[in-house]
């Protein structure tokens, strides 16, 4: 067996249930890596990061913590193969963040394109919370605490990984120690990194209300699919339609394993004679088949929340031991373990 690698993803903030964009963008990747047996896998629920822009509504984060945990277990994250941890329960992460902040300039953080985009989306302006502004450094602490060299993320998280690599190189150079590990990203297959919202918006987002959640019931999924954006010029069934930018066909490309049939549907749609209602019904069947087992497992776990809490507690305890060891090495390198 190949030498174990450490894997952690820090992008799942507990601000609600997870949707199929999360599933396509990262969750499937994590399950696949976990199941190879080649990785020492750490999967984080980043509640502290979520508090950076939800500090006035901590109940939302506490409530969502369980929602995310249920989604993890439902998609196949196995506590026997992966360590599921809660960020706020690992005190070493906060101290590592503080040490790393001394190695990063404000101007560098301002140039981070992911941060710039999110600040704009959230309309912070000059009132961006300091904790939110520095969260790339917090993510670096999350990754390096476990010496992760492999991190499954969405395409938009590459700037975060580069920030982490810069911090690692700077720390190891300044303190002349080869302690921290540079991570590499594992990205979704080409074309599957981001799934558009139901309304055709480039991003699926809770705030935009254009999501299908992993926990949605059968009727809810059907209603959402039937409301999806297609081709506004395809008014009559006989009209030739466009598949580019047509959300239904984008979803079929991602979720339907029968690629030949999808190609046939595209050809029919473009030629005219295939209605939107028919392809939406077909997509509904595809999504129901994909999501039904996930929803059913989720319901089973939801009936045993004591077990879910036990998974989070034990995972956080295991993670604490690893993070504390890394912190000791960092403190030794800096020279601030004054009393042994």
Residue 203 annotated among the catalytic residues of the structure: yes
Three-state DSSP string of the chain: CCCCEEEEECCCCCCCCCEHHHHHHHHHHHHHHHHHCCEEEEEEECHHHHHCCCCCCHHHHHHHHHHHHHHHHHHCCCCCCEEEEEHHHCHHHHHHHHHHHCCCCHHHHHHCHHHHHHHHHCCCHHHCCHHHHCHHHHHHHHHHHCCCCEEECCHHHHHHHHHHHHHHHHHHHHCCCCCCCCCEEECCCCCCCCCCCCCCCCCCCCCCCCCCECCCCHHHHHHHHHCCCCCCCCCCCCCCCCCCCCHHHHHHHHHCCCHHHHHHHHHHHHHCCCCHHHHHHHHHHHHHHHHHHHHHHHHHHHCCHHHHHHHHHHHHHHHHHHHHHHHHHHHHHHCCCCCC
List 110, 116, 122, 313, catalytic entry: 122
Looking only at Cα atoms, what is the longest distance across the chain?
80
Residue 116 known to be catalytic: no
206 is catalytic: yes
Phi, psi (rounded to 5 degrees) for 118:
-70, -35
- The CA distances from residue 240 to 14, 77, 199, 310, in Å, are 43, 43, 21, 55
Q: What is the pLDDT along the chain (340 residues), one digit of tens a residue?
A: 345 556 666 558 898 899 998 898 788 888 988 898 888 999 999 999 999 999 999 999 999 999 999 999 999 999 999 999 999 999 999 999 999 999 999 999 999 888 888 888 888 888 999 999 999 999 999 999 999 998 887 777 888 899 999 999 999 999 999 999 999 988 776 655 578 999 999 888 888 889 999 999 999 999 999 999 999 999 999 999 999 999 999 999 999 999 999 999 999 999 999 999 999 999 999 999 999 999 999 999 999 999 999 999 999 999 999 999 999 999 999 999 998 7
Distance of CA 70 to the CA centre of its chain: 15
Active-site residue identified among 60, 81, 203, 278: 203
Q: Which of 85, 93, 90 is nearest to 44 (CA)?
A: 85
Annotation: CATH topology of 5-195+305-334: Rossmann fold (3.40.50)
Token output for 179? 């302690």
pTM summary value:
0.90
Quote the CATH superfamily of domain 218-299: Tyrosyl-Transfer RNA Synthetase (1.10.240.10)
CA–CA dist 196, 213 (Å, integer) = 14
Is residue 211 a contact partner of residue 21, using CB atoms and an 8 Å limit? yes
Domain boundaries, the chain: 5-195+305-334, 218-299
């Amino acid at each position: 067996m190949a030498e174990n690698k450490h894997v952690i993803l820090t992008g799942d903030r507990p601000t609600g249930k997870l949707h199929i964009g999360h599933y396509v963008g990262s969750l499937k990747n994590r399950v696949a890596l976990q199941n190879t047996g080649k990785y020492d896998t750490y999967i984080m629920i980043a509640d502290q990061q979520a508090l950076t822009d939800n500090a006035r509504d901590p109940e939302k984060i506490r409530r969502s913590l369980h929602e995310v945990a249920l989604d993890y277990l439902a998609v196949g994250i196995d506590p026997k193969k992966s360590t599921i941890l809660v960020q706020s329960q690992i005190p070493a992460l906060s101290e590592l963040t503080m040490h790393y902040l001394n190695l990063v300039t404000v101007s560098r953080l301002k140039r981070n394109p992911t941060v710039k985009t999110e600040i704009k989306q959230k309309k912070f302006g000059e009132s961006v919370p300091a904790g939110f502004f520095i969260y790339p450094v917090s993510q670096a602490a999350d990754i390096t605490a476990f010496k992760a060299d492999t991190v499954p993320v969405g395409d938009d998280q590459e700037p975060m990984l580069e920030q982490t690599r810069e911090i690692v190189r700077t720390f190891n150079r300044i303190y002349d120690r080869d302690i921290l590990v540079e991570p590499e990203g594992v990205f979704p297959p080409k074309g599957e990194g981001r799934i558009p919202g139901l309304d055709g918006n480039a991003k699926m987002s809770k705030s935009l209300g254009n999501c299908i959640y992993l926990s949605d019931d059968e009727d809810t999924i059907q209603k959402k699919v039937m409301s999806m954006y297609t081709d506004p010029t395809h008014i009559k069934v006989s009209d030739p339609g466009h598949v580019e930018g047509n959300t239904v066909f984008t979803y079929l490309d991602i979720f339907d394993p029968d690629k030949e049939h999808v190609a046939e549907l595209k050809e029919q749609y473009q030629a005219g004679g295939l209605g939107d209602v028919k392809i939406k019904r077909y997509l509904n069947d595809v999504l129901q088949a994909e999501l039904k087992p996930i929803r059913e497992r989720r319901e089973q776990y939801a009936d045993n929340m004591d077990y879910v809490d036990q998974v989070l507690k034990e995972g956080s305890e295991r993670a604490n031991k690893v993070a504390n060891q890394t912190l000791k090495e960092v403190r030794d390198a800096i020279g601030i373990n004054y009393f042994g």
